[in-house]
Structure 1
Amino acid sequence: MIREYRASDLDRIMAIWLQGNEQAHHFIDANFFKNNYELVKLLIPMSTVYVQDIDGTITGFIGLTENYISGLFVDSAYQHQGNGQALIAKAKQQHNELFAHVYVQNTAAIAFYQSQGFEIDSQSINEETNQPEYLMACRVEHNVKIGKCAL
């Protein structure tokens, strides 16, 4: 089930966040994520966060700042089971368009977002990591059954 974030979820969310970043971003020094851990921990409650809760275990989460996906992470043991897709679907229910930055070297994430109807909008350099990234965008057509990003 997907539900809204609770304060008691924070430690589990942060564990998934750190594991996911270290796994997906091998091209960035792992200390970068460890050094930003406390800052992200402060920022998470300021976002709109939905968690995938399976029988009391948080398996993933999506953080939204308005229509921007500030984070989408699924525990590695629960990937490729539809959890990320369900979290994106929840975000699509709430917004007419969605955006996300994805590192160019994170080809698995790019493929995932494209499978969910996102397209590459532009490319830039991330100022904190100096790594190239794409801005990916999805226009959501509500109440339409045809179309890549339809609900």
Structure 2
Amino acid sequence: MTAIRMSRPNDGARAVEIWRDAVDATHDFLTREDRVALDAMVCGFLLSAPLWLAVDGNDRPLAFMLIDNGHMEALFVDPAVRGQGIGAALVRHGLALHAGMTTDVNEQNAQAVGFYESMGFQRTGRSALDGQGRPYPLIHLQHGTPGAEGR
């Protein structure tokens, strides 16, 4: 059984482990240099970031999600449990908190783009560079009908 809870200080190392394994499994488009640079940056903040965790019956984190002001900054699932609905459960939890949630996804990560679209996200734009100015285009997504949250 999977439960969702907020992270605690001792969950940081496991979050980093999930991030590394997930990136290695899904982000083969990254250059080695960019992967190393991202690792250093992510390790710096994941250890203390306020994450939503999907945990197993032994309270071991299987996946995490970071939401900031209704924008999903990160969603990473341990590759050993991918395809079991854990990421979808986290997204549904996030949507219960932020109905018009937005996110960005690397264009080269076609599986992730398809996942978000299957969850009801729609494309709202594209950026040629990622958030660090690297040449990894981002697809901007919003759940539901973009622009409808104020109606």
Return the TM-score normalized by structure 1.
0.84
Structure 2 residue 27 is matched with structure 1 residue 25: yes
- The Cα shift of 1:42 comes to 3.0
CA–CA separation in structure 1 for the residues paired with 2:50 and 2:12: 13
Conserved? CA contact 1:64–1:71, under 8 Å: yes
Q: Percent identity?
A: 24
Displaced runs of 4 or more, over 4 A:
none
Name the SS of the counterpart of 1:19 in structure 2: helix
Structure 2 residue 45 is matched with structure 1 residue 40: no
RMSD over equivalenced CA pairs, Å: 1.8
Please point out which of 126, 134, 143 is paired with 1:129. Answer: 134
- The Cα shift of 1:120 comes to 1.0
Structure 1: runs of 5 or more not aligned? 141-151
Name the SS of the counterpart of 2:43 in structure 1: helix
- The Cα shift of 1:90 comes to 1.0
- The Cα shift of 1:46 comes to 6.2
Name which of structure 1's ranges 42-51 and 123-132 shifts more when overlaid on structure 2: 42-51
Return the TM-score normalized by structure 2.
0.84
CA–CA separation in structure 2 for the residues paired with 1:97 and 1:30: 35
CA change 1:24–1:103 in 2 (3 A) is same
Paired residues, what number? 140
Name the SS of the counterpart of 1:69 in structure 2: strand
- Whose strand fraction is larger, Structure 1's or Structure 2's? 1
